[in-house]
């Protein structure tokens, strides 16, 4: 899947800036590598929406459940597309673009998997959009944070084409909107709240583990599954 003109123009603009701003490059690499500043912040807002005192507390918690559930669905769809669509090398590997790859970027970690679509964009835009559906004021800030501190670094460093980001974001937004629109998690809500009330000692550790893996973009889970699958 070759880059379109829009992709080339945006990435080459970033590349020309990178050549003379090493300190900024280092900051963007930090943002890209630091899971606390990516998923950790977004998950913290999910917890805030789900646990902050409010007259709409039950509705908010149901909204968070819907958001997380369908964010997983969106990420699953994206992972399928990554594996079945035509392989698209990362922009920094595309010699025709002649991008200036920033120093200290771990090239090998990104060279084996197709860049289209962006799973970062899918997961974090899905979560951000879901937060916006629940609380417009908080959600708009989370969406801007996601764009500036999670998605922009992916393009700036040549890890994704802009169209990778756009398509991944659309998957996340549309799937979560579908979940809210048709209330597809409605039948599961009572069981979830009963589980939380009856077995909090099990529910909250599981919630922590799920939150941790979201913040980590399921990297540890992927490594574990990869080990199990390749051991057979």
**Res. 226 pLDDT band, cuts 50 70 90:** low
Give the residue from 93, 99, 119 showing the smallest Cα distance to 25.
99
All structural domains of the chain with their residue ranges: 5-186
Note the pLDDT of residue 105.
Answer: 58
Are 45 and 142 in contact by the 8 Å Cβ rule? The answer is yes
Tokens 């280092």: give the residue.
26
Q: In the chain, what percentage of residues exceed pLDDT 70?
A: 81
Note the pLDDT of residue 177.
Answer: 95
**What are the φ and ψ backbone dihedral angles of 129, each rounded to 5 degrees?**
-65, -40
- Residue 43 burial (10 A CB sphere; 0-12, 13-18, 19+): buried
Identify the CATH assignment for 5-186 out of 1.10.287.130, 3.90.1010.10, 3.30.460.10, 1.20.144.10. 1.20.144.10
Note the pLDDT of residue 165.
Answer: 94
Q: Is the pLDDT of residue 145 over 90?
A: yes
User: What digits encode the pLDDT tens for the residues 59-90?
Assistant: 888 888 899 989 999 999 998 998 888 888 88
Give the residue from 79, 173, 162, 167 showing the smallest Cα distance to 124.
173
**Res. 108 pLDDT band, cuts 50 70 90:** low
Note the pLDDT of residue 31.
Answer: 84
Mean pLDDT of the chain: 82
Q: Is the pLDDT of residue 42 over 70?
A: yes
Contacts 24+ apart (CB under 8 A), 126-129: 126/67, 126/70, 126/71, 126/74, 126/75, 126/171, 126/172, 126/173, 126/175, 126/176, 127/42, 127/43, 127/46, 127/67, 127/68, 127/71, 127/172, 127/214, 128/42, 129/67, 129/172, 129/173, 129/176, 129/177
Note the pLDDT of residue 114.
Answer: 83
Residue 131: both structure tokens together: 């937060």
């Amino acid at each position: 899947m070759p880059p379109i003109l829009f992709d080339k123009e945006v990435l080459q603009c970033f590349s020309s800036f990178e050549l003379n701003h090493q300190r900024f490059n280092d900051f963007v690499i930090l943002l890209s590598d630091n899971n606390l500043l990516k998923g950790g912040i977004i998950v913290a807002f999910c917890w805030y929406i789900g646990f902050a005192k409010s007259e709409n507390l039950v509705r908010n918690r149901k909204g968070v459940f819907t958001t997380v559930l369908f964010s997983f669905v969106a990420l699953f769809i994206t992972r399928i597309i990554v594996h079945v669509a035509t392989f698209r090398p990362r922009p920094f590997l595309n010699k025709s673009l002649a991008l200036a790859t920033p120093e200290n970027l771990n090239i090998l970690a990104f060279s084996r998997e197709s860049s289209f679509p962006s799973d970062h964009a899918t997961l974090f835009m899905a979560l951000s959009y879901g937060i916006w559906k629940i609380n417009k004021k908080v959600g708009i800030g989370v969406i801007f944070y996601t764009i500036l501190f999670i998605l922009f670094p992916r393009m700036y460093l040549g890890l994704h084409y802009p169209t990778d980001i756009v398509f991944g974001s659309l998957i996340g937004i549309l799937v979560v909107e579908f979940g809210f629109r048709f209330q597809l998690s409605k039948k599961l809500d009572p069981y979830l709240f009963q589980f939380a009330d009856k077995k909090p000692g099990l529910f909250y550790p599981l919630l922590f583990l799920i939150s941790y893996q979201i913040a980590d973009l399921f990297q540890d889970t992927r490594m574990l599954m990869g080990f199990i699958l390749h051991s057979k």
